[in-house]
Amino acid sequence: MRRIVLLEDDEDLSYLLTYQLEREGFSVKSFKRLKEFYEGLRDEREALFILDLMLRDGDGLEALRYLRRHPRFARAPVLLLTAKSTERDKLAGFEAGADDYLTKPFSFKELLARVRALLRRCERKTSSYELKGVKIDALERKLWVDGKEVYLTPAEFEILWLLFENFGKTLSRSAIVEQLWLSGRDTSERAVDVHVKHIRDKLGPYRDLIKTVRGVGYRLEA
């Protein structure tokens, strides 16, 4: 995947990011308004999305929720850009299905590193795991519960996959943060708790496979 869709209403920043990303070999389509963003999605298939939260004609979270409702983009990697840096704002982004969160101002080097990290996770080719009525497949990036496919956001998938990879081991919140993508000043370990809550809800009768280790983190066990 070398395609990036950028929604950023700051013309200077939009131009700069487009220019720099294209120099790195990415194909970039940029939009400055929500309306044109929605219209432009008709021609998109597979892409990574970079969304600014504070737009002149709306809220970037609205665009994110639209992507998560759309079958074609429900699992697309999404990086949020915003000047808001409070924990509440970050959690709102993760609640809506974001995979990563970058606070302005930021360096292009950091943005590029996060983009590449998201793409590496999306392109990973490996095996699947099965436990009781739960099956997770990294090649298809899908989860099944009692034979029924259950939607996971990319962030939820990564956390659950990490727990399967470390079956029986306790993973601290900080370890999950470090091994996945939440790093640096924009990090909140509470975001991991939000994702785990959603994962448990989606596991239904198997929610107790994920154990909470008080004061530490989480462990997957039968």
Domain interval for residue 167: 128-220
Residues 147 and 58 in one domain: no
3-state secondary structure of 34: helix
Which CATH number do you get for residue 193? 1.10.10.10
Residues 212 and 178 in one domain: yes
Q: Provide the pLDDT for residue 182.
A: 42
Q: Six-digit token pair at 170?
A: 């306790």
Give the pTM: 0.62
Number of domains the chain contains: 2
| pLDDT per position as a tens digit, 54-100 | 888 888 899 999 998 887 788 889 999 988 777 787 888 888 888 88
| pLDDT per position as a tens digit, 8-38 | 989 999 999 999 999 999 999 999 999 899 9
Residues 96 and 139 in one domain: no
The Cα–Cα gap between 53 and 61 comes to 6
